Amino acid sequence: MFTIVCFVFSFTVVNAQASLVKENIKEFFKLIYTSDIEETELVERFFYDSSDSSKNFWSSFIAGYRVDSKENEVVNFKRFKEDVLSDNIEIIVFDEFNERDKSKFKNWDGIPRKGICKVMGKKGFHQLILMRENKISSLIILDKTGDLTF
Protein backbone atom coordinates (compact mmCIF):
# COMPACT_ATOMS: atom_id res chain seq x y z
CA MET A 1 0.00 0.00 0.00
CA PHE A 2 2.81 2.37 0.94
CA THR A 3 4.59 1.58 -2.35
CA ILE A 4 1.46 2.41 -4.37
CA VAL A 5 1.03 5.72 -2.55
CA CYS A 6 4.72 6.61 -3.18
CA PHE A 7 4.40 5.72 -6.89
CA VAL A 8 1.26 7.82 -7.33
CA PHE A 9 2.91 10.73 -5.51
CA SER A 10 6.07 10.47 -7.66
CA PHE A 11 4.04 10.26 -10.87
CA THR A 12 2.03 13.32 -9.87
CA VAL A 13 5.19 15.31 -9.05
CA VAL A 14 6.80 14.41 -12.40
CA ASN A 15 3.66 15.41 -14.31
CA ALA A 16 3.40 18.67 -12.36
CA GLN A 17 7.04 19.41 -13.13
CA ALA A 18 6.47 18.76 -16.85
CA SER A 19 3.51 21.16 -16.82
CA LEU A 20 5.58 23.78 -15.03
CA VAL A 21 8.31 23.36 -17.64
CA LYS A 22 5.87 23.98 -20.48
CA GLU A 23 4.26 26.99 -18.86
CA ASN A 24 7.59 28.54 -17.87
CA ILE A 25 8.96 28.20 -21.37
CA LYS A 26 5.87 29.63 -23.03
CA GLU A 27 5.75 32.53 -20.58
CA PHE A 28 9.46 33.15 -21.08
CA PHE A 29 9.15 33.32 -24.86
CA LYS A 30 6.08 35.53 -24.64
CA LEU A 31 8.06 37.98 -22.51
CA ILE A 32 10.97 37.95 -24.95
CA TYR A 33 8.64 38.30 -27.90
CA THR A 34 6.83 41.33 -26.47
CA SER A 35 9.58 43.20 -24.62
CA ASP A 36 12.70 45.18 -25.49
CA ILE A 37 14.72 43.64 -22.68
CA GLU A 38 17.97 41.85 -23.55
CA GLU A 39 17.49 38.08 -23.85
CA THR A 40 20.34 37.33 -21.44
CA GLU A 41 19.00 39.69 -18.79
CA LEU A 42 15.51 38.27 -19.15
CA VAL A 43 16.74 34.71 -18.81
CA GLU A 44 18.63 35.56 -15.64
CA ARG A 45 15.70 37.49 -14.19
CA PHE A 46 13.00 35.02 -15.16
CA PHE A 47 14.71 31.71 -14.52
CA TYR A 48 17.02 32.38 -11.60
CA ASP A 49 15.85 33.51 -8.20
CA SER A 50 17.63 32.26 -5.09
CA SER A 51 14.40 32.48 -3.08
CA ASP A 52 12.36 30.43 -5.56
CA SER A 53 13.47 26.83 -6.10
CA SER A 54 11.24 26.39 -9.15
CA LYS A 55 13.23 29.12 -10.91
CA ASN A 56 16.54 27.61 -9.85
CA PHE A 57 15.69 24.64 -12.06
CA TRP A 58 16.17 26.99 -15.00
CA SER A 59 19.43 28.61 -13.92
CA SER A 60 21.33 26.95 -16.75
CA PHE A 61 18.71 27.81 -19.37
CA ILE A 62 20.84 30.78 -20.38
CA ALA A 63 23.02 28.35 -22.37
CA GLY A 64 19.98 26.84 -24.01
CA TYR A 65 19.57 29.15 -26.96
CA ARG A 66 23.20 29.24 -28.02
CA VAL A 67 25.10 26.48 -29.72
CA ASP A 68 28.83 26.20 -30.33
CA SER A 69 29.30 25.56 -34.00
CA LYS A 70 32.24 26.14 -36.32
CA GLU A 71 30.98 29.68 -36.85
CA ASN A 72 30.06 30.06 -33.15
CA GLU A 73 26.70 31.34 -34.29
CA VAL A 74 23.51 31.88 -32.35
CA VAL A 75 20.70 29.43 -33.01
CA ASN A 76 17.76 30.90 -34.91
CA PHE A 77 16.05 31.94 -31.70
CA LYS A 78 13.21 33.81 -33.39
CA ARG A 79 12.04 30.71 -35.24
CA PHE A 80 12.29 28.69 -32.04
CA LYS A 81 10.21 31.30 -30.18
CA GLU A 82 7.56 31.33 -32.85
CA ASP A 83 7.30 27.56 -32.80
CA VAL A 84 6.82 27.58 -29.04
CA LEU A 85 4.24 30.34 -29.11
CA SER A 86 2.25 28.83 -31.95
CA ASP A 87 2.09 25.36 -30.36
CA ASN A 88 3.76 23.82 -33.40
CA ILE A 89 6.04 21.91 -31.12
CA GLU A 90 5.66 19.36 -28.40
CA ILE A 91 7.69 19.57 -25.22
CA ILE A 92 8.63 16.35 -23.47
CA VAL A 93 10.57 16.14 -20.22
CA PHE A 94 12.62 13.16 -19.06
CA ASP A 95 14.57 13.01 -15.82
CA GLU A 96 16.90 10.49 -17.43
CA PHE A 97 17.20 8.85 -20.80
CA ASN A 98 16.86 5.12 -21.10
CA GLU A 99 16.43 2.62 -23.92
CA ARG A 100 12.66 3.13 -23.98
CA ASP A 101 13.04 6.90 -24.39
CA LYS A 102 15.64 6.54 -27.13
CA SER A 103 13.30 4.41 -29.21
CA LYS A 104 10.94 7.39 -29.58
CA PHE A 105 13.54 9.30 -31.59
CA LYS A 106 14.65 7.49 -34.71
CA ASN A 107 17.73 9.56 -35.45
CA TRP A 108 19.01 10.13 -31.94
CA ASP A 109 22.45 8.57 -31.49
CA GLY A 110 22.06 8.48 -27.71
CA ILE A 111 24.74 11.07 -27.00
CA PRO A 112 23.57 13.82 -24.62
CA ARG A 113 24.44 17.31 -25.79
CA LYS A 114 24.43 20.57 -23.88
CA GLY A 115 22.33 23.38 -25.27
CA ILE A 116 19.96 23.21 -28.20
CA CYS A 117 21.29 20.64 -30.60
CA LYS A 118 20.64 19.76 -34.18
CA VAL A 119 20.50 16.07 -34.96
CA MET A 120 21.91 14.83 -38.26
CA GLY A 121 19.28 14.42 -40.93
CA LYS A 122 15.93 16.09 -41.58
CA LYS A 123 14.03 14.36 -38.83
CA GLY A 124 15.28 15.18 -35.39
CA PHE A 125 14.83 17.10 -32.20
CA HIS A 126 16.47 19.74 -30.08
CA GLN A 127 17.57 19.06 -26.56
CA LEU A 128 18.34 21.21 -23.55
CA ILE A 129 20.39 19.77 -20.72
CA LEU A 130 19.39 21.39 -17.44
CA MET A 131 21.07 21.01 -14.07
CA ARG A 132 19.14 20.72 -10.85
CA GLU A 133 20.92 19.84 -7.64
CA ASN A 134 23.67 18.13 -9.63
CA LYS A 135 21.14 15.98 -11.44
CA ILE A 136 20.88 16.32 -15.19
CA SER A 137 17.41 16.64 -16.66
CA SER A 138 16.70 16.76 -20.34
CA LEU A 139 14.10 18.83 -22.07
CA ILE A 140 13.25 17.47 -25.49
CA ILE A 141 11.62 19.83 -27.93
CA LEU A 142 10.37 18.62 -31.26
CA ASP A 143 7.68 19.59 -33.69
CA LYS A 144 4.64 17.44 -34.30
CA THR A 145 6.07 15.95 -37.51
CA GLY A 146 9.42 15.23 -35.91
CA ASP A 147 11.03 17.63 -38.37
CA LEU A 148 12.68 20.53 -36.59
CA THR A 149 15.30 22.27 -38.71
CA PHE A 150 16.57 25.83 -38.74
**Residue ranges per domain, the chain?**
2-143
Q: Which of 112, 107, 143 lies closest to 128, judged by CA?
A: 112
Cβ neighbours, 10 Å, residue 93: 19
pLDDT above 50 (res 23): yes
Q: Which of 5-9, 17-21, 46-50, 63-67 has the lowest mean pLDDT?
A: 63-67
Residues 6 or more apart in contact with residue 143 via CB below 8 angstroms: 83, 88, 89, 90
Q: Which of 23-27, 75-79, 81-85, 125-129 has the lowest mean pLDDT?
A: 125-129
* Exposure class string for 94-132: b at 16+ Cβ within 10 A, else e: beebeeeeeeebeebeeeeebbbbbbeeebbbbbbbbee
The rounded distance, in Å, linking the Cα atoms of 96 and 9 is: 18
pLDDT, mean over the chain: 44
pTM higher than 0.85 for the full model? no
pLDDT digits (tens, 9 = 90+) for 56-109: 433 333 333 333 333 333 344 445 455 555 555 444 444 444 444 444 444 444
